[in-house]
Amino acid sequence: MVKIILSLGVAVGIAIGSQNPSFPTFSPSPHQLTQWKLKCGKGDTQSCLLVGNYYYLQHQWKKAYRFFLLCKDKNGGCLNNLALLYFSGFRPISRAHLLLMFKRACKMGDKIGCLNYQTAFKNWQKERGR
């Protein structure tokens, strides 16, 4: 299995929270969720991440995917959350497309994207027998 290095911040908190029942749940009010959606639509990356993570925890992966795609960050948070969806079993994109996205992030100077690209590519080559 390909190991993905998650970005710091919300993604790690969500991942920890989903594994630990004593961790406070992430349940914004309907009003707060609506506000984040509006801000996301205007290009606010943090709001897109928050809405995407909310839907991820609700196992509404199609909705989470839509909001992670709307993110335009350069620190890898959105990209790494897309990878988290991919390796959770939701695969609207191919592994080749995921690798291409990591490669682009790496070219933009995203260190986490570079590590993910290198790790994922090496594992993929091993699986294909190259």
Does residue 85 fall inside a structural domain?
Answer: yes
User: Cα–Cα distance between 75 and 77 in angstroms, integer?
Assistant: 6
The reported pLDDT for the residue numbered 14 is: 46
Does residue 23 fall inside a structural domain?
Answer: no
Other CB atoms within 10 A of residue 64 CB? 24
At residue 8, does pLDDT exceed 80? no
User: Cα–Cα distance between 89 and 32 in angstroms, integer?
Assistant: 28
The reported pLDDT for the residue numbered 4 is: 40
Does residue 67 fall inside a structural domain?
Answer: yes
Does residue 71 fall inside a structural domain?
Answer: yes
User: Cα–Cα distance between 41 and 90 in angstroms, integer?
Assistant: 23
Total count of domains within the chain: 1
User: Cα–Cα distance between 97 and 103 in angstroms, integer?
Assistant: 10
Q: Give the range of the structural domain holding residue 57, as residue numbers without chain letter.
A: 11-16+30-128
Q: Report pLDDT digits (tens) over 19-35.
A: 444 444 678 999 999 99
pTM comes to 0.61
If you average pLDDT over each of 33-47, 60-74, 94-108, 112-126, which comes out highest? 33-47
Does residue 25 fall inside a structural domain?
Answer: no
User: Cα–Cα distance between 115 and 127 in angstroms, integer?
Assistant: 18
Does residue 4 fall inside a structural domain?
Answer: no
Decide which of 107 and 14 is more confident: 107
Q: Report pLDDT digits (tens) over 61-102.
A: 889 888 888 876 655 677 777 777 777 777 776 777 777 777
Sign of CA dihedral 77, 69, 34, 85: negative
The CATH number that applies at residue 38 is 1.25.40
Task: Please give the structure tokens belonging to residue 15.
Answer: 């991942």
Contact 34, 77 (CB under 8 A): no
Contacts of 3 (CB under 8 A, 6+ apart): 119, 123
